[in-house]
A and B are shown apart, each in its own frame.
With several copies, the nearest count.
Chain A
Amino acid sequence: MPDSRITLDGLKSWLQEFARLIAEQRTQLSELDAAIGDGDHGTNMDRGMQAVVASLSGETIDEMVKLAGMKLVSTVGGASGPLYGTFLLRFAGSAGPTAELDATQFAAAMRAGLNGIVARGKAEPEDKTMFDALAPAVQTLELGVAGSFADTLRAAADAAEKGRDATIEMRARKGRASYLGERSIGHQDPGATSAALLLRAAATTLG
């Protein structure tokens, strides 16, 4: 897939687009969280991503993404700060001190990020978390689809959205929503919703 070089600038655009989508859907994300959590997911992520885009810098991919991850950790608080932060930190570690990634390296970095989330949050499939949106997307990136890398990215974003939608029927077993038990069923998970935006931003900017 020689058409699939992902550059430093590309990754920058990705994070900027993610920040834009978060800001745009901030209220909606917080409302989802209000239904089954404490109503701050949109505020948390928006505060964090605004800080990230305001300080984007670095000569290599690992440098830039690590900084972004640290920034997120330092500004978000709540569950999503360490989780998304760890995602980016592990992504950076997998990517290494390079200025470009190919599709395989990108998928590997995404897998490393997801593994970081699991290591930190111990989420299992169908716990009704961001994991349920990210896992099918990462798998799609790893397997690829017929066509261009852009097609794979779009397929991954679609998979994330399908995963996000599937959280509606799940009973939460992690995070604040788990206190609701049965009553968490019927509500879409806010973290899965923001995770789907991360993948949609990738499809828009990296394809």
Chain B
Amino acid sequence: MKKLINDPADVVAEALVGVESAHPDLRVDHANKVVYRRDASRPGKVGLISGGGSGHEPLHAGYVGFGMLDAACCGEVFTSPVPDQMLAATKTVDGGAGVLHIVKNYTGDVLNFEMAAELAAAETGVEIVSVVTDDDVAVQDSTWTAGRRGVGVTVLLEKIAGAAAEAGRPLKEVADVAREVNANGRSMGIALTSCTVPANGKPTFELGEAEMEVGVGIHGEPGRSRQPLAPARDLAHVLVDPILEDLPFRSGDGAIAFVNGLGGTPLIELYLMYGEVAKILAGHGVTPVRSLVGPYITSLDMAGCSVTLLKVTDELLRLWDAPVNTPALRWGV
């Protein structure tokens, strides 16, 4: 394992030291490992919190700021945070208009957020709505599983719901927008290499020199199948086709097209993939009205990428375009 770290046990705590030094607009509660907007809470604004295991940076701490999250709860690497963290965050960001919990659909995350919501409601009466993202089409048969995993759509949802909250909309509406994003977004990923969890010191799984894991999860969970590595133009089909099968687009629909790097894949490859994805979309008459290309929800140092497509209405697009000011997404301000 070759990493820029000290003791593997301290990775998250020490990365948060760096986040705090690098971003004066953020405030870090080191005891609870929660990253806050410096100006949280804001009276009358719905509070947005998210969180999960670390190792997916910039998700979630990189999305804390104006127009997006009010707080991010950072668990240990690939381990969901504990309820105390979300409890503290919920209480801190509550500006009287309630708090939205954005939770990726993993049993650990769901249960820990759920307990936090119960505790917070019991302690303070704050109104909480949880929205769970489950956009990973790699997990198929959902009556037989814990349900689809939450992946790339989470980024888009945090931005769009964040804009709705920033616009002063009430909790119910912010939650409805969030659910609409989740319902209209799908993702699929492939890994070219495994990630290496610092505490384990060795790759989570082994892949042959000419193999890829199709449908990989962002914690290195196995996907649909292991297949021979193929040219980018074929990989784009491997990623886009199952999404289009699952979420029928009609010719003329607009989409936010998001090609995400998993951590170890450089931007030149992601742009090349984006070109291939755009070609396939054009073939289906789908217009990528907005794009996002880069490492936005990663799996430590895993090489590979994921594609997320979000079918958008004019309203969702307006919210996407609204100003945002976070370490990882910024425009209009």
A contacts B directly (C-beta below 8 A)? yes
Contact residues of A with B, CB < 8 Å?
38-40, 43-44, 73-83, 85-86, 120-121, 171, 173-176, 178-181, 183
Contact residues of B with A, CB < 8 Å?
53, 75-76, 78-84, 106-108, 111-112, 114-115, 139-141, 144-146, 149, 197, 199-200, 204, 217, 219-222
B149, A179: Cβ atoms under 8 Å?
yes
A44, B79: Cβ atoms under 8 Å?
yes
B108, A179: Cβ atoms under 8 Å?
no
List of 9 A-B pairs having minimum Cβ-Cβ separation, nearest first: A82-B111, A178-B145, A78-B108, A79-B107, A79-B108, A77-B79, A178-B146, A175-B107, A74-B84
A179, B75: Cβ atoms under 8 Å?
no
Interchain nearest-CB distance for A107 vs B (Å): 25
- C-alpha spacing A184/B191, complex, angstroms: 21
A85, B115: Cβ atoms under 8 Å?
yes
- C-alpha spacing A176/B108, complex, angstroms: 9
Name the A residues within 8 Å of B145 (CB-CB). Answer: 173, 178-179, 181
Interchain nearest-CB distance for A29 vs B (Å): 15
Interchain nearest-CB distance for A87 vs B (Å): 12
Interchain nearest-CB distance for B92 vs A (Å): 17
Name the A residues within 8 Å of B78 (CB-CB). Answer: 38, 40
Q: Which residue of A lies closest to B75 (CB)?
A: A77
Name the A residues within 8 Å of B112 (CB-CB). Answer: 77-78, 81-82
- C-alpha spacing A77/B32, complex, angstroms: 13
Q: Which residue of A lies closest to B79 (CB)?
A: A77
Interface of B is mostly: loop
B83, A73: Cβ atoms under 8 Å?
yes
Name the A residues within 8 Å of B200 (CB-CB). Answer: 39
Name the B residues within 8 Å of A178 (CB-CB). Answer: 144-146
Name the B residues within 8 Å of A44 (CB-CB). Answer: 79
B115, A179: Cβ atoms under 8 Å?
no
Name the B residues within 8 Å of A76 (CB-CB). Answer: 82
Interchain nearest-CB distance for B43 vs A (Å): 30
User: Considering residues B75, B114, B115, which has the most beta carbons from chain A within 10 angstroms of its beta carbon?
Assistant: B115
Q: Which residue of B lies closest to A171 (CB)?
A: B144
- C-alpha spacing A38/B216, complex, angstroms: 13
A176, B144: Cβ atoms under 8 Å?
no
A74, B82: Cβ atoms under 8 Å?
yes
Q: Which of B81, B83, B111, B139 contacts A179 (CB 8 A)?
A: B139
Q: Which residue of A lies closest to B142 (CB)?
A: A178
Q: Which of A73, A175, A180 contacts B115 (CB 8 A)?
A: A73
Name the B residues within 8 Å of A86 (CB-CB). Answer: 115
B146, A77: Cβ atoms under 8 Å?
no
- C-alpha spacing A179/B141, complex, angstroms: 9
Interchain nearest-CB distance for B146 vs A (Å): 5
- C-alpha spacing A39/B219, complex, angstroms: 11
Given known contacts A38-B219, A85-B115, A77 and B106 CB-to-CB distance under 8 angstroms: no
Name the A residues within 8 Å of B81 (CB-CB). Answer: 77
- C-alpha spacing A73/B140, complex, angstroms: 31
Sample 28 A-B pairs with CB under 8 A, ordered by A number. A44-B79, A73-B84, A74-B84, A77-B53, A77-B76, A77-B81, A77-B108, A78-B79, A79-B108, A80-B108, A81-B82, A81-B108, A81-B112, A82-B108, A82-B115, A85-B115, A86-B115, A120-B115, A121-B107, A171-B144, A173-B144, A174-B146, A175-B146, A176-B106, A176-B221, A179-B139, A179-B222, A181-B141
Name the B residues within 8 Å of A174 (CB-CB). Answer: 107, 146
Name the B residues within 8 Å of A121 (CB-CB). Answer: 107, 111
Name the A residues within 8 Å of B76 (CB-CB). Answer: 77
Q: Which of B75, B80, B84, B114 contacts A120 (CB 8 A)?
A: B114
- C-alpha spacing A183/B222, complex, angstroms: 10
17 more CB-based (< 8 A) A-B contacts, given A121-B107, A179-B217: A38-B221, A39-B204, A44-B79, A74-B83, A77-B53, A77-B76, A77-B79, A77-B81, A77-B112, A120-B111, A121-B111, A173-B146, A175-B107, A178-B146, A179-B139, A179-B146, A181-B144
- C-alpha spacing A120/B115, complex, angstroms: 9
